[in-house]
Structure 1
Amino acid sequence: MPDIAECAANLTAQPEVDFPDTPFFTGAEAPCRFEAEVYNCVVRGTIPPEIDGTYYRCMPDWSWAPLYEDDVFINGDGAIDAVRIKDGHADFKQKYVRTAKFAIERAARQAVYGKYRNRYTDDPRVQHEVHSTANTHVIYFENQLLALKEDSKPYAMDPNSLETRGLYNFNGQYTAPTFTAHPKIDPDNGELITMGYEAGGDATNDVAYYLFDKNGRKLEECWFKTPYVGMMHDMAATKNWVLFILPPLEARSLDDLKKGNKHFAWSETQRLTFGILPRRNPKPEDIRWFHYDNAFYGHTGNAFEGDDGCIYLDAPLTYHNKFWFFPPAGEDAFTHSSGKPRNDGQPESHYVRWKFDPKATDSRVEPTELINLDGEMPKLDERFVTKQYNTLFLAVHDRNAKYGPVGGVYNTMARCNVNTGEYKYWSAGEHTALHEVAFIPRAPDAPEADGYLITIANRRDTSLTSILILNATDIEKGPIAIIELPFRLRNGIHGSWVRKEFENTTVKPALL
């Protein structure tokens, strides 16, 4: 007589939920496919009473088996996590963003949208629908959440209920069809600095820059062209400038997309390219382009202006394609050398500084190393965005670990001094994947980086997920509080801490 395990192994899942047997869809990354609410989560340790607000996070999750097995993990439906913390207690809520894709596929009870950012692989009946999965980042602006995916406009959500309000175009002021996953909010005046690339349509080199005041009123709009079409995933801003980053993840042509190819392919010949544009009163002819070698840029740390009139941009720099799942055209993602570290003596990656002189006659730029760590997902005290700063928080690999973290993601968080290169860190162990951190100031007027870090930990040893809180000034001691969830979540991408109302702060969310 077969037991339950044998019976289950002999029965095939229904086609619409029969997920591919690949690392993107199995084990710790198997789709979760649920919405949840946990009131008064189990907390180990003590949550400091001054922590009062909500941590929001985006998680790409697959409601339905993909139409194509070679689709990438970042094409899952956006599920927003909210961790509400008050008086030492924590409540958890997770809800899918009701995008057009989510609603249509739920009604169909199967996937009808095709590959990541390739409408030509869709069911023809939805090729002209909005493609957003709203799964990359979530920010707070204009008393609402904006769930972001860079191929479409934002989806607005209620910050308390997580109910979807719908696509948001800033009351008709934002006309571009795309919107970055990484807008910047000026901590001094609340202005939102943003852009959309491929703004003229798929595979076009049009970029639309926008500036909004804290009340959502458009202050600036400027459209310009890039030297080539690439994945402009992040951007940066200073008091007077906006910076655009163009890594050599090149968009395929419309003909290639119509043949069913992935939207992006790593180019081994294009150069990492940077553009600078005046933040105010910009014109298309004002854009200046600078170039480096063929290298990867994922996420911005910070940018600021020096007393010398130059613009400085800090970020991790990687000397191979860290988005290996977009290999060169026609190559295998799992085996091609472009997705693997080089053996020429260079570091795999490090945190560097770029200098841009608006008056320079030479467009070539070279990086200066700040921190010798292989890491990504840089975060800082966001009160210092657009300004000179001292402290960076970075997701890294534990240098002393015998093996890399399970799942190929980061398992260590570091606190780094960008002026000295010194750092301290805490490792969660080889069985745990840590996600991007968010910084929580101890008080509105606390010194830079004086506060707490919050992040998600996916524990492979227990097959459960926890939310960790660390003292940012004593990171080596590990979590001071662990908020336990009675289930597993998948790897997320980005998130934001939104603090309960404080006097003299720009963002004043009305949380229950």
Structure 2
Amino acid sequence: MGAAYRVASELALQPEVDYPNSPFFLGPEAPCRFEAEVFNCVVRGEIPKQIDGTYYRCMPDHLWAPLYDDDVFINGDGAIDAVRIKDGHADFKQKFVRTERFTIERAARRAVFGKYRNRYTDDIRVKHKIHSTANTHVIYFEKQLLALKEDSLPYAMNPDTLETKGVYDFHGQYTSPTFTAHPKIDPHTGELITMGYEAKGDMTTDVAYFLFDKTGKKLEECWINTPYVGMMHDMAATDKWIVFILTPLAGVPLDLLKQGHKHFAWDENKPLTFGILPRRDAKPQDVKWFHYKNAFYGHSGNAFDGEDGCVYLDSPLTYMNKFWFFPPIGEDMHRAKSAQRPMRDPVSHYVRWKFDPNATDLYVEPEELVNVNGEMPKVDPRYETKPYNFVFLAMTDPEAEEAPAGGIYNAIAKCNINDGTYEYWSAGINIALHEVAFVPRFPEAPEADGYLISVVNRHDKLLTDIVILDTADMAKGPVAIIELPFRLRNGIHGSWVDQEDLPGEDFVKP
């Protein structure tokens, strides 16, 4: 061992950056803690000239060691990545969202906010401040980015400079303190469909639904109540209906929250639950709740209205608690049986749910569409809210003898939902692949014909790439690889924005 390394290993870290000895904070997931700008990234291969726009991505990154060693990665500060692609070249920016939490902790040079969604563990001086880390998703609406975290309102950002503009409340029209991580923007009308859960405070069953037109004018607001308190990470929308998804990651009793418990705990006695509500002229009494058995729902693929008057929702379905870090009350997150792979059922598959607004039997069974162990579904956005034929999934390579690094996904699949077939590209066992963005080959291209963009974490060399795949030949692998000279952590969600929709400012202005 070299002298310099030996000395460094013997010196204690300063407390504010002494991170827990946990997989959430070690190795490829060690905090990055930087902002960056790379002009003219190194590119291997050739970026198709048709790709003209920006891929935005959200990454949780703890700037400071958490106050509690059992805190989770989804409590990290939100860093927004932007990859501007034009004329076969790529430029990169990363900047933290200047949330109220970010600015307070930066001034203090340490963490003062407590556990994920538990204000009772905060420093008493900040418990009533805005809790958002703005770290889960980033979308484009009203010529600005909205960085999202479902416990608070969005933060608006400049799409070129990534400067934070401030909290966005739809010009004073949004009346809930919470906002979903997955609002839907109807590509056919430009309307934004959204909701907030626990909308009257911690562990309340209140949900607020909103519809805004493309200029940000409020068209609908309706408050409903759920059968129980639980995580409602995603939602879905059709032309006529809204679908709410209530996952049995149940909110813990308020007295446990006040004692410092994590906000959610898997409840094996609660069903996966769905609510449908008319998209327009909705009234609280119009909501209808359907239920399935105990299972995990992460993200929606697509939803549409059937000619039979029923509502159809397609999604991955998982038969274990994928958010293992929220175990049942009283159980250890590393040993809980609820997070173990099932012995008989598939771990996960892509399924279709059917909800009949006139049904009297409210139990629903899903129909399998594609037998793959995958998540982070993405459809051609031109077909959102409409019948469609293809979905893209991040998945586990079904032919790999070894699991991917860290138990995350290492392949990307293009799936035909009509016959269950799929083709995919596998990146190998030391690679972590993430959610994709889809770019059509040209505006009138057939469905799912175009390019996929995904961030790839190279665990083998602790660096990060951005890959571009041609959907016409998935198995061939990337047609271009954009290399970054540093490592990024696992991200969560992101959005592609065409250049013609951006405000036209200079992304690479000196």
> Normalized against structure 1, the TM-score is what?
0.98
SS in 2 for 1:488: coil
Partner of 1:20 in structure 2? 20
Deviations 1:43-75 (A, max 9, x none): 000001110000000000010000000001100
Q: CA deviation at 1:378?
A: 0.4
Matches within 5 A, 1:202-213: 202-213=202-213
Q: CA deviation at 1:443?
A: 1.5
Deviations 1:277-300 (A, max 9, x none): 000000000000000000000000
Matches within 5 A, 1:159-170: 159-170=159-170
In structure 2, stretches of 5+ residues that fail to align are: none
Partner of 2:406 in structure 1? 407
Partner of 1:64 in structure 2? 64
CA contact under 8 A between 1:498 and 1:509: conserved in structure 2?
Answer: no
Q: CA deviation at 1:399?
A: 1.1
Q: CA deviation at 1:446?
A: 1.4
CA contact under 8 A between 1:155 and 1:164: conserved in structure 2?
Answer: yes
Counterpart-to-counterpart distance in 1, 2:232 and 2:77: 21
CA contact under 8 A between 1:500 and 1:511: conserved in structure 2?
Answer: no
CA contact under 8 A between 1:79 and 1:135: conserved in structure 2?
Answer: yes
Counterpart-to-counterpart distance in 2, 1:391 and 1:351: 11
Matches within 5 A, 1:230-269: 230-269=230-269
SS in 1 for 2:120: helix
Partner of 1:429 in structure 2? 428
CA contact under 8 A between 2:83 and 2:91: conserved in structure 1?
Answer: yes
Counterpart-to-counterpart distance in 2, 1:76 and 1:357: 40
- What root-mean-square deviation, in Å, do the aligned CA atoms of Structure 1 and Structure 2 show? 0.9
SS in 2 for 1:355: strand
CA contact under 8 A between 1:499 and 1:509: conserved in structure 2?
Answer: no
Deviations 1:88-143 (A, max 9, x none): 00000000000011000000000000000000000000000000000000000000
Counterpart-to-counterpart distance in 1, 2:374 and 2:48: 28
Partner of 1:141 in structure 2? 141
Partner of 2:449 in structure 1? 450
CA contact under 8 A between 1:53 and 1:511: conserved in structure 2?
Answer: no
C-alpha change, 1:402 and 1:2, in structure 2 (3 Å) is: closer
CA contact under 8 A between 1:203 and 1:253: conserved in structure 2?
Answer: yes
Partner of 2:370 in structure 1? 371
Q: Which amino acid aligns with 1:358?
A: P
Counterpart-to-counterpart distance in 1, 2:502 and 2:66: 40
In structure 1, stretches of 5+ residues that fail to align are: 502-506
Q: Which amino acid aligns with 1:182?
A: H
> Normalized against structure 2, the TM-score is what?
0.98
Matches within 5 A, 1:109-188: 109-188=109-188
Q: Which amino acid aligns with 2:407?
A: G
Partner of 1:504 in structure 2? none
Q: CA deviation at 1:2?
A: 6.2
Counterpart-to-counterpart distance in 2, 1:75 and 1:224: 28
Partner of 1:384 in structure 2? 383
Counterpart-to-counterpart distance in 2, 1:266 and 1:473: 40
Matches within 5 A, 1:91-106: 91-106=91-106
CA contact under 8 A between 1:241 and 1:278: conserved in structure 2?
Answer: yes
Deviations 1:449-473 (A, max 9, x none): 1110000000011211000000012
Number of corresponding residues: 506
Counterpart-to-counterpart distance in 2, 1:10 and 1:426: 44
Counterpart-to-counterpart distance in 2, 1:511 and 1:359: 50
Partner of 1:459 in structure 2? 458
Matches within 5 A, 1:494-505: 494-501=493-500
CA contact under 8 A between 1:75 and 1:116: conserved in structure 2?
Answer: yes
Matches within 5 A, 1:327-342: 327-342=327-342
Q: CA deviation at 1:508?
A: 4.9
Q: CA deviation at 1:400?
A: 1.1
CA contact under 8 A between 1:18 and 1:65: conserved in structure 2?
Answer: yes
Q: Which amino acid aligns with 1:451?
A: G
Instruction: Report sequence identity in percent.
Output: 70
Aligned counterpart in structure 1 of residue 504 of structure 2, from 491, 500, 510: 510
Q: CA deviation at 1:510?
A: 3.0
Q: CA deviation at 1:511?
A: 4.8
Stretch deviating more after TM superposition (112-121 or 404-413): 404-413
C-alpha change, 1:508 and 1:488, in structure 2 (3 Å) is: closer
Q: CA deviation at 1:488?
A: 0.3
